[in-house]
Amino acid sequence: MSAFSPNEMMTIAASRALKNDDVCFVGIGAPSAACNVARLTHAPDITLIYESGTIGTAPDVLPLSIGDGELCETAITTVSVPEMFRHWLQGGRISIGFLGAAQIDRFGNINTTVIGNYDHPKTRLPGGGGAPEIATSSREVYITMTQSKRGMVDKIDFYTSFGHGEGGDHRQRLGIGTKGPTLLITDLAIWRPDPDTKEFTVVSLHPGVRRAQVQETCGWTVKFADDIQVTPEPTALELKTLRDLKARTEAAHKGAAGAI
């Protein structure tokens, strides 16, 4: 077995969570890589949907943005953005919303808007886009991100995408009927929310990762499951699929840059 990086382990672990019959609303970046590895391995019939209105897309390379022509060219069909959100997303047709985060708290609330004070931020982030609607209208939400104390914080600076709020039944009290975040995959571990408190709990450590590493890169006191598992290593097929996808993407984007 070839050596693998923490980011490769994260992407492959995330891809394994997806099923063949899922209809997945895909975020750009790490979520897109995970979803396409799933499509190219164990879930060939998964329906991938991107915010620009592309349905059933099967990109040969990872898109730079939701407006990347690769998505429309390989989609079964493309609909208008209002139709995408009103009919597909808010109509309850999306089984998994797959999101990334700049900041996240223990209850899966996501910030992709600003770091610091909103009116005078230290950093202005890309914003929410469709993520707030994805977080509330998808039947459940998966999140992937690299662990750091800067990203996994006790209190996020801005609520872009609502997770479990203050925990417990907060979503239900607000009239949100979907499950919300049910899975967090980082470069060190797999996390799932506690059934009652909804606080994310480590259920699996990636190979070679120690509990102390998880705590050192997290801004709150981490809870670990009693029966904690070890994430299975990537298979040769999973690694080759991911690396080939990344290589094709890098070559295509270098070509595009050279043509400008």
Residue 27's pLDDT is 86
Nearest CA among 17, 12, 38, 3 for reference residue 208: 3
Q: Identify whether 166 is a catalytic site residue.
A: no
Contact 108, 163 (CB under 8 A): yes
What is the predicted pLDDT for the residue at 260?
Answer: 43
Q: What pLDDT shows up at residue 66?
A: 84
Beta strands (DSSP E) in 31-176 are 47-49, 54-55, 77-78, 96-99, 103-104, 110-111, 114-116, 121-124, 140-145
Please state the domain extents for the chain: 6-259
For the beta carbon of residue 23, count every other beta carbon within 10 angstroms: 17
Query: What stretch of H or E contains 83?
Result: helix 81-83
Q: What is the pLDDT of residue 259?
A: 47
pLDDT, averaged in runs of 10, over the chain (260 residues): 87 98 92 96 97 94 88 94 94 96 97 95 91 96 97 97 98 96 98 98 98 98 97 97 96 65
Instruction: Name which of 91, 116, 94 is nearest 22 in CA terms.
Output: 94
Q: Please give the CATH topology (third level) of the domain spanning 6-259.
A: Glutaconate Coenzyme A-transferase (3.40.1080)
Question: What pLDDT score does 2 carry?
Answer: 61
CB 92 within 8 A of CB 68: no
Q: Give me the phi and psi of 200, to 5 degrees please.
A: -65, 135
Residue of 8, 51, 133, 238 marked active site: 51
Give pTM, 2 decimals: 0.93
